[in-house]
Structure 1
Amino acid sequence: INVIFQISLVHSLAFSAHVIVGTVNGTEAKPHSRPYMVSVQKNWLHTCGGFLISDEFVLTAAHCRKNSETLTVVVGAHDLKNKTEGSVCIEVKSYHQHPDFTEDPVMNDIMLLRKKVTQNEKVNWISIPIKEDETEVHSVCSVAGWGRLDNGSLSNRLMETHVKIMNHTKCENKWGKGDSGGPLVCGKTAVGVTSFGDPNLCNSPELPEVYMKVSAYLQWIHKFIGNQRNQRGFCRRKRRKERE
């Protein structure tokens, strides 16, 4: 995971971040300790992270899908190369990019992927904010992903690190491929989606990441998931998809 050296409130829709503990590459997560984590893949290769917010929807970054390409999601994984750990590969049924998403500059970089999963000890969704709110400056949060390590290699195993929210507006758009789309987690709530910064607005050498603020998009998110989150989304079991 290519981690951040600075987290700041960039504007009302986004954050950026600063690593406070661990190595630059983060540390390997305890296997299956983050059952909401999803690998978003193209042609069976990891492209982006994502996270379950119900039994039917993954939240990720809009830029992770280009040119109407077909994506799949892998749930229940820790080591993406380990085909015996019980992970499941699922085809995405529908794609919902934010209607105001733009790539230059990067704005509203958020997307919902619809699919059906079954809850177990390795697969579960994470809470999102229930109302639009600000994450307090200096809050200690965490990020995780299977992205590119500092030495240039890709991590097959889920990595994690801790970050601190900071009120600083200088940042630079430098990213580890594969970390995009994953969650910024504060406490037990996913408050951000890993995105990009705007290089025209940022001017810091410390390699920050920028996150779309989930609470700013609650109305849009609930247009799709409705009241599902109040119905304990995983209680209806369904035959598991084919395993990979």
Structure 2
Amino acid sequence: MTITIISLLLLASLLPHLTFTAHVNVGIVNGTEARPHSRPYMVSVQKNGKHNCGGFLISDQFVLTAAHCWKGTEILTVVVGAHDLRNISSSDRIGVKTYIPHPENTAKSKNDIMLLKLENKVQLINNVRLIPLPNDGEEVGPGTVCSVAGWGRLAANGSKSNVLMEADTTTINPAECKRKWGSHFLAPKMICAYGAGGSCYADSGGPLVCGDTAVGVTIFAKKEYCNSPERPNVYSKISAYTKWILNEIGKIK
């Protein structure tokens, strides 16, 4: 049976040259509601005022997310300090000044990582905080218990969540990830993880958090189940991009 793969946001019709995947956006399945504002780094990346992807604050003016969350012409906004997306104030919504996808990003999920420079700096208060990044080349070993969070779908065919959901997940040996995903998994630049709960549609761009550090950016999963042991969720490995991230943050004024 042919396995259908998704890389989380773009529809296959938008990328007819791809033969191996349908691109749609991937919510937390089998998760629990997060304690309000316990993840103050989380942001909702929105299109036309509606949640589209996850993201997270890495400085007072930069959000890290997945490159496929922006098609190149859309105008996105981010919502900071939120828990329930039905209850946000105008001050929580910030426009994007500059879109900075990785220069070597491709449609096949390679280098699927993007910086958003916000129009204004955010005020870092109790509900709005930064999350640290790993050092360049830093590795997370297999069997590490980490977590994911987002406002995405609660099931593959379900509705998005209004409140921030979270779940624990465990990193998998890269060789096993490669066996399960084949050529779609690039060990030097990706991490995969599986747990009782995991990411689904509209959680793209959200962080894989190990300890207090964001080590991955949610990029793709299996279409039919969102959290499958045979196709564990895959994340861009942030430590492979730390130099690029710091360079971009430093050079854009």
Shorter-chain TM-score: what band? Answer: 0.7 to 0.9
Partners of 1:139 and 1:68 in 2: CA distance: 38
**1:11-63 deviation digits (Å, cap 9, x = unpaired):** xxxxxxxxxxxx94200000000000000000001000000001010000000
Kept in 2, the 8 Å contact 1:40–1:72? The answer is: yes
SS in 2 for 1:102: coil
Once the 2 structures are TM-superposed, how far is the Cα of residue 176 of structure 1 from its aligned partner? 2.4
Local SS of the residue matching 1:219: helix
Residue aligning to 2:17 = none
8 Å Cα contact 1:175-1:207 kept in structure 2: no
Larger RCO (CA under 8 A, 6+ residues apart): 1
Is 1:31 the counterpart of 2:31? The answer is: no
CA contact 2:78–2:95 (8 Å) conserved in 1 = yes
TM-score by length of 2: 0.73
Match of 2:212 among 177, 181, 188: 188
Contact 1:171 1:205 in 2 (8 A): no
Does the Cα contact within 8 Å between 1:76 and 1:87 map onto a contact in 2? no
Matched, 1:112 2:136: no
Matched, 1:96 2:100: yes
**Inter-CA distance 175–77: structure 2 relative to 1 (3 Å threshold):** closer
Cα shift at 1:133: 1.5
Structure 2 equivalent of residue 161 of structure 1:
167
- Report whether the alignment pairs 1:43 with 2:34: no
The 3 A distance-change label for structure 1 pair 147 and 65 is same
User: Which amino acid letter does the alignment assign opposite residue 100 of structure 2?
Assistant: H
| 1:206 CA drift (Å) | 4.0
Bigger proportion of residues as helix: 2
Which residue in the other structure is 1:56 paired with? 61
Partner of 1:8: none
Residue 56 of structure 2 contacts residue 63 of structure 2 at CA under 8 Å; is this kept in 1? Answer: yes
Deviation for aligned residue 1:198: 9.5
Q: Which runs of 4+ in 1 moved over 3 A?
A: 171-175, 204-207
User: What is the root-mean-square deviation of aligned Cα atoms in Å?
Assistant: 2.5
Distance in 1 (alpha carbons) for counterparts of 2:71 and 2:199: 18
How far 1:126 sits from its partner (Å)?
A: 0.3
Matching of residues 190-205 of structure 1 within 5 Å = 190-196=214-220
Higher mean displacement: 174-183 or 45-54: 174-183
TM-score (norm 1): 0.76
Any idea what the Cα deviations from partners look like across 1:138-190, whole Å, max 9, x if unmatched?
00000000001116011010000001111122149997221000000000000
* Consecutive unaligned residues in structure 2, runs of 5 or more: 1-27, 185-197
For 1:143 and 1:45, how far apart are their aligned partners in 2?
21
**Are 2:53 and 2:203, in contact at CA under 8 Å, matched by a contact in 1?**
yes
1:208: Cα distance to partner? Answer: 2.3
Give the counterpart of 2:153 among 148, 158, 177. Answer: 148
Matched, 1:209 2:212: no
**CA distance in 2 between partners of 1:176 and 1:142 (Å):** 14
Determine the structure 2 residue equivalent to 1:132: 137
Cα 1:227/1:90, change in 2 over 3 Å: same
Count the aligned residue pairs: 200
